[in-house]
């Protein structure tokens, strides 16, 4: 599998066949973006796997093709790489692609199967919330957004919600997250609950 990885001046990117992204490129340019990092399938320029803004070209590292050559063996692993590339370090992505986290809970194993046992896709978090709290989809989306914003009330709720005999829902999420250093290791005693 071959991909094309480009680092383009933002004005050049707007001139190419990436016209569907022009509105976003204009917003990025207003906020100081000078370059755009784009990865697409070699055979189809319209099949964009990744794109992101780059402000400082000297500090930007491109390794998508290297990871494709070394770790990608099927469309599932390519999807993992495309989803994780912008958000995680090289080491974290390598860990996701080369190791599998198994769980004693069948629901968790099935939910996280396509990401090697890691919680990386939005829909996975939402499905976990729907499963545990019997939420509608729109409510689960709010929970996911609150998690990303590190809303303390949600953290409190997850800490006091037992998922199974061994862990809380918060513990499960942190355990299955790729970079759990983003989330404080908290317990029920870390919060003062208001009556």
Stretch 6-26: mean pLDDT: 76
Coil vs helix vs strand at 34: coil
pLDDT of 84 reads: 87
Whether residues 65 and 21 fall in one domain = yes
Q: Is residue 88 part of a domain?
A: no
- Residue 36: pLDDT above 90? no
pTM above threshold 0.85: no
Quote the number of domains for the chain: 2
Q: Which residues pair with 37 in a beta bridge?
A: 7, 52
Residue 108: both structure tokens together? 């968790």
Q: Is residue 43 part of a domain?
A: yes
Give the domain extent around 158: 106-190
Each residue of 66-109: pLDDT tens digit? 888 888 888 889 889 888 888 888 888 898 999 999 999 999 99
Q: Pick the closest to residue 25 from 38, 11, 41 (CA basis).
A: 11
Contact 67, 93 (CB under 8 A): yes
Whether residues 8 and 69 fall in one domain = yes
Q: Is residue 20 part of a domain?
A: yes
Whether residues 111 and 68 fall in one domain = no
Domain end, chosen from 73, 89, 121, is at 73
pLDDT of 18 reads: 62
């Amino acid at each position: 599998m071959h991909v094309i990885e480009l680092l383009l001046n933002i004005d050049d990117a707007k001139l190419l066949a990436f016209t569907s992204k022009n509105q976003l490129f204009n917003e990025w340019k207003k906020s100081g973006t000078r370059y755009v990092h784009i990865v697409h399938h070699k055979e189809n320029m319209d099949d964009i796997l990744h794109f992101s803004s780059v402000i400082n070209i000297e500090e930007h590292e491109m390794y998508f093709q290297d990871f494709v050559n070394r770790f990608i063996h099927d469309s599932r692993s390519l999807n993992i790489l495309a989803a994780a590339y912008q958000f995680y370090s090289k080491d974290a992505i390598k860990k996701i692609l080369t190791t599998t986290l198994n769980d004693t809970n069948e629901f968790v194993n099935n939910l996280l199967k396509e990401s090697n046992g890691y919680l990386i896709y939005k829909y996975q978090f939402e499905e976990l919330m729907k499963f545990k709290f019997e939420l509608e989809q729109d409510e689960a989306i709010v929970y996911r957004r609150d998690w990303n914003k590190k809303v303390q009330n949600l953290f409190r709720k997850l800490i006091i919600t037992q998922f199974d005999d061994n862990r809380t829902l918060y513990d499960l999420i942190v355990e299955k997250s790729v970079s759990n250093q983003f989330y404080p290791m908290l317990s029920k005693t870390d919060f003062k609950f208001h009556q």
